Structure 1
Amino acid sequence: MPNARTISPTAGKGRVLFASLIGTTIEFYDFYIYATAAVLVFPRLFFPGGDPTTAMLSSFATFSIAFFARPVGALAFGHFGDRVGRKATLVAALMTMGLSTVAIGLLPTHATVGVIAPLLLALCRFGQGLGLGGEWGGAVLLATENAPPGKKAWFGMFPQLGAPIGFILSTGAFIVLTSTMSEAQFEAWGWRLPFLASAVLVFVGLWVRLKITETPEFQTAMDRKERVKAPAVTLFAHHKAALFLGTFSGVTTFSLFYLMTVFALGWATTGMGLERGEVLPVQLIGVLFFAAFIPVTALLADKFGQVKVLIASSVGIALF
């Protein structure tokens, strides 16, 4: 009798790719709704009492917490991903992110509990960083370890699409709220809705991920008893160069992205005096181009090589 790994390979590949896409979409949706709220409402709701610039910087400080948590999440979930399996850790990462995001939507503000409010906000933000740190690497592995020869970049492209799709969903949510409710309604309870809506997305993501099987490469490693006790130690001991290059090759991309989204939104709505309803659609247009070029570069990477495409992209960013 055939087992789950031999039934309908084509359908199985499609399910795996959708599972990797839906997970990163949810994770980045959660990540970006925080980024948007950190600019639009958190300075007044969680850091009142000072001048607007100080409040904005305090809000950005909580936003940055996730970037310290992401490497921790990557190491922790990466360890268990290599020891326990991709599926279990991806489910755990999605739950970590989802619970942290929904909790933000339920938090009391500074007016209700005082200084405890920003502390709780920071704790939830740390949870978001842990979840995203474990999610992205695991989702890429899920996709690429199921890829046929010559299609690694194309399969690995699906988790990357989660970033712009998540941004589009989060920005779209705030555009709808901005256009359908007053400023007082938005600050009183409207900003909570995108965070609470994450519960529905997480439920869908869990339903999809619980139906997938382990990747062929991990299953082979288990069958051959090739799992190591401390994957991180092996990584730092034997793969320093690849670790360094892989980590810092993404620095230019993320630096530009967050400058053009979080910083630009904060600068435009404060320093330039623009309304959020004017700025959010412009950012949405930019992210549409971001989404369009991910599959293009994936095709180019499979044809010409990943290193060449990374170098060309980095040069393009520098010129920009």
Structure 2
Amino acid sequence: GLASLLALNAPENRRGWYAMIPQLGAPIGLIVASALFAFFLNTLSAADFLDWGWRYPFFVAFAINVVALFARLRIVVTPSFQKLFETRELQPVPVHTAVKAEGPRIAIGAFAPLASFAMFHMVTVFPLSWVFLFTQETPVRFLLIEMVGAAFGLLSILASGLLADRYGRRTLLAITAAGIAAFSGFAPQLLNGGAIGELTFMISGFILLGLSFGQASGPVASSFSLANRYTASALTSDLAWLFGAGFAPLAALWISSQFGLIAAGAYLLSGAICTLVALWLNRELARSASDKQRAAKA
């Protein structure tokens, strides 16, 4: 992903800051989408919203994606990108080649941001679905709460860049994963705590999410060899979103409907544990590789 490439090619003492920049799009997009849906839900009849109103935010997203596409194409033609491509730092390789050479690290990289990606949907799609399906609250009011939470998330992502450069990206990911694990033990039940409980859940959740999500992309990308780094980073990013986010809203909603909100906390806890284990395995692999290099030189 873009965040991985920015982090790898940024000055060493600024990698956390550069890795954070692409992640800002998520809370900004969430604020825009929540505002649009809240507006249409509040002004249109149910029939009009179901007929055409729900499509409008997607048209806006399409327009934004067109702009983003041109921005990415401009990156491709920059001299720095061409230089990286010519030096083979950005050369794509076949997927099977990257998997064969970097399989264990790709798997670790896919699970390293699991807590962050699971948390992302636990404070966006999941609570909105829960409130709509299992409470008497209107979606408009909760969308406004979600916008407030996303604003805190935006500030936290900015803070993650500074903290990562000071203490290290993996250290920050490990600390926030532990925080998410603690959060999972009590926070989901706040959704049944009325307006104060919901606001507390969303703000605290988004703060944790921002600190984690800001550094979640490509935390182990530097472990890949130069020849495989481009393809392996892309695979890692896609697999992380698939396993960490693809099933999160539906799985959390289903187990919560069956066993209560505490079960959603258990789902989030499993993601935090996966992140901590993946970061530990990555450290052990790096230590083993370093020991082998020293032994070879000796």
1:148 correspondence with 2:8 = no
1:167 correspondence with 2:30 = yes
Q: 1:188 aligns to what?
A: 51
RMSD over aligned Cα atoms: 2.5
Contact 1:146 1:216 in 2 (8 A): no
Q: 2:124 aligns to what?
A: 261
Q: Secondary structure at the match of 1:292?
A: helix
Contact 2:75 2:81 in 1 (8 A): no
Shift of 1:271: 0.9
1:298 correspondence with 2:161 = yes
The structure 2 residue matched to 1:230, chosen from 84, 90, 93, is: 93
Looking at structure 1, the residues matched to 21 and 168 of structure 2 have their Cα atoms a distance apart, in angstroms, of 18
Shift of 1:236: 2.3
Q: Which runs of 5+ in 2 are unaligned?
A: 184-298
Shift of 1:183: 2.1
Shift of 1:242: 2.8
Q: State the AA in 2 paired with 1:163.
A: A
Q: Secondary structure at the match of 1:212?
A: helix
Looking at structure 1, the residues matched to 60 and 52 of structure 2 have their Cα atoms a distance apart, in angstroms, of 13
Contact 2:7 2:16 in 1 (8 A): yes
CA change 1:228–1:200 in 2 (3 A) is closer
Aligned positions of 1:271-290 closer than 5 A: 271-290=134-153
Q: State the AA in 2 paired with 1:303.
A: R
Looking at structure 1, the residues matched to 160 and 5 of structure 2 have their Cα atoms a distance apart, in angstroms, of 20
Contact 1:142 1:215 in 2 (8 A): no
Q: Secondary structure at the match of 2:52?
A: helix
CA change 1:226–1:309 in 2 (3 A) is closer
Q: 1:203 aligns to what?
A: 66
TM-score (norm 2): 0.55
Shift of 1:234: 3.9
Q: Secondary structure at the match of 2:178?
A: helix
Aligned length: 183
Contact 1:178 1:277 in 2 (8 A): yes
Looking at structure 2, the residues matched to 212 and 226 of structure 1 have their Cα atoms a distance apart, in angstroms, of 15
1:315 correspondence with 2:178 = yes
TM-score (norm 1): 0.51
Q: 1:108 aligns to what?
A: none
Aligned positions of 1:32-51 closer than 5 A: none
Q: State the AA in 1 paired with 2:7.
A: T
